[in-house]
């Protein structure tokens, strides 16, 4: 398991033909993120949502990039129903399964870059990385570096599609989250290979790939309702004023 030298991953990928895979996690409960919407002017829209229970959907994703290859997104969804003794986040087994599945689909070595979450640096994950050192290299990100992780753009894009969405159960929410992630996987304009271009500059013109914090602070103004009507054009005579008509 390597240190926080992210440049090491690029050099190693060029030498071995490996995929550089950035990992990150996200979660969503039954209270959807707020988003702009239409409403009569002067009336704040109200969206009724279900806040009952402690259900939650956790997602772990891998954004895998390689020179001259299509970017790939792999993810794993875990539903937490708030039962007694239930783990509320991804476990080491979930991460190990996700990494192994990505390796089998990519047919190439994997250079895994992720943060210092306690589950990532646990003894179980260190043992897993050591047992698969022939195809897996792990590099830790600095303590707080969200701008270095392309997966942040994937989560922002996913949550943009969940704004003001009221779901009755956590199972319905999980189905919608999977649908949003499938769109990112298969739609060319949402390809994860383009997420890397917006990592170093969050103020790009593509708001769908910006971070959620950037989207809230720099969201476009809400359109007026009803839309303003165009002002009638004045005739040339009316623009010239009374002097154009001659003396009284």
The mean pLDDT of 162-170, rounded to a whole number, is 83
Confidence bin at 245 (pLDDT 50/70/90): very low
Instruction: Give 233's Cβ-side CA count (13 Å radius).
Output: 2
Instruction: List strands edge to edge, sheet with 56-65.
Output: 72-80, 56-65, 19-29, 110-114, 136-140
Q: Which of 101, 98, 127 is nearest to 114 (CA)?
A: 98
The mean pLDDT of 40-52, rounded to a whole number, is 76
Asked if pLDDT for residue 195 goes beyond 70, the answer is no
Distance, first Cα to last Cα, the chain: 95
Enumerate domains of the chain plus CATH numbers: 6-35+51-196 (3.30.420.10)
The mean pLDDT of 185-212, rounded to a whole number, is 48
Asked if pLDDT for residue 237 goes beyond 70, the answer is no
Compare 212 and 2 and report the one with higher pLDDT: 2
The pLDDT assigned to 22 comes to 92
Asked if pLDDT for residue 134 goes beyond 90, the answer is yes
Instruction: Compute, in degrees rounded to 10, the torsion defined by CA atoms 149, 196, 93, 182.
Output: 130
The phi, psi pair for 101, rounded to 5°, reads: -65, -40
What are 22-43's pLDDT values in tens digits? 999 999 888 888 777 888 888 8
The phi, psi pair for 28, rounded to 5°, reads: -150, 135
HEC string for 42-69: CCCCCCCCCCCCCCEEEEEEEEEECCCC
* Peptide bond before residue 226 is cis, with ω within 30 degrees of 0: yes
């Amino acid at each position: 398991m390597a240190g926080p030298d992210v440049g090491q991953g690029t050099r190693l990928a060029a030498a071995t033909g490996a995929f550089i895979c950035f990992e990150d996690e996200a979660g969503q409960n039954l209270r959807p993120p707020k988003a702009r919407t239409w409403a009569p002017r002067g009336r704040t829209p109200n969206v009724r949502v279900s806040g009952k229970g402690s259900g939650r959907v956790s997602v772990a994703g891998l954004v895998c990039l390689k020179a001259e290859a299509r970017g790939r997104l792999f993810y794993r969804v875990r539903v937490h129903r708030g039962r007694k003794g239930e783990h509320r986040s991804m476990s080491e087994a979930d991460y190990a399964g996700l990494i192994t599945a990505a390796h089998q689909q990519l047919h190439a070595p994997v250079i895994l870059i992720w943060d210092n979450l306690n589950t990532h640096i646990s003894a179980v994950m260190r043992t897993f990385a050591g047992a698969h050192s022939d195809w897996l290299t792990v590099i830790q990100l600095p303590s707080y570096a969200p701008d270095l992780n392309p997966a942040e753009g994937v989560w922002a894009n996913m949550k943009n599609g969940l704004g003001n969405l009221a779901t009755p159960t956590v199972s319905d929410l999980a189905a919608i989250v999977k649908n949003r992630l499938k769109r990112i996987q298969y739609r060319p304009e949402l390809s994860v290979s383009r997420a890397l271009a917006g990592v170093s500059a969050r103020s790009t013109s593509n708001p769908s790939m910006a971070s959620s914090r950037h989207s809230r602070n720099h969201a476009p103004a809400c359109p007026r309702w009803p839309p303003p009507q165009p002002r009638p054009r004045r005739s040339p005579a009316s623009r010239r004023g009374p002097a154009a008509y001659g003396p009284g």
